[in-house]
Structure 1
């Protein structure tokens, strides 16, 4: 596996694991901190979840993922086509990446949340570097978003 095939980021959240799990595993809560309208949907393995992004610059694009695994309260994974706002993205034929969140207990009733997104090397060459760069930065921002959301 190359050093451009996966993005891995971690953060300690000052909230119990059950609270962080709920922020991840509830589609509506996930959408609230992630920036996607997932109202009325549920995360269920094997099922697709889809909703437009809520950021005004990206509202014409959708979060579109297929939930792969849910192991309460420690693992949630899904597949999606990364960087879907790229005009070169082929949302039907591009190989999806795998996003996996793992939760572990941390000192002081906190939670260590790690996200790994892998499979960038399977993207078409003309998209690969930009998708990897955008998601490398994006996961840092999204982990801060869930930290704020779950720490309330």
Structure 2
């Protein structure tokens, strides 16, 4: 297993349009991802806010929206496991998070790939990878519950 790339996928019993809205509407994204985002996702712009997950409310959300291809591809850069308010993570090279959607017979295949862990400083690289490896497992369950239970 590579420690540079996390790849996860889930088949959701929801149409691509529904999954797309849950991914790219900043309010809906915030509901399942547990983050309060200050405004809409716009390609090339920074997205800010703060986490709402219990115990992590002090963590700021900062990402740069890279690309939005409607109902197919959404990506952003961020600093994984950037949870210590005393550390300035902005000097680090961020990872790239990519979501792709594909229509299936039962709904939507959602893939998430996070890459670039090799650029994280060595003293926190493995912990960031470990946190996000488990984090994406949980987040795919969260989006599945969200699109299934929220029309």
Look up the match of 2:15.
Answer: 16
How many residues of Structure 1 are paired with residues of Structure 2 in the alignment? 149
User: 1:88·1:127 contact (CA, 8 Å) conserved in 2?
Assistant: no
Look up the match of 1:68.
Answer: 66
Q: State the TM-score, normalized to the length of structure 1.
A: 0.93
Query: Aligned pair in 2 of structure 1 residues 23, 82: CA closer, same or farther (>3 Å)?
Result: same
Indicate the SS of the match to 2:29.
Answer: helix
Q: Distance in 2 between the 1:31 and 1:63 partners? A: 10
Q: Distance in 2 between the 1:48 and 1:4 partners? A: 27
Question: Segments of 4+ in structure 1 off by > 4 A?
Answer: 86-89
Q: State the TM-score, normalized to the length of structure 2.
A: 0.94
Q: Distance in 2 between the 1:60 and 1:135 partners? A: 18
Q: CA deviation at 1:98?
A: 0.2
RMSD: 1.4
Indicate the SS of the match to 2:37.
Answer: coil
Look up the match of 2:138.
Answer: 141
Report matched runs for 1:1-152 at 5 Å: 3-39=2-38, 41-86=39-84, 89-108=87-106, 110-152=107-149
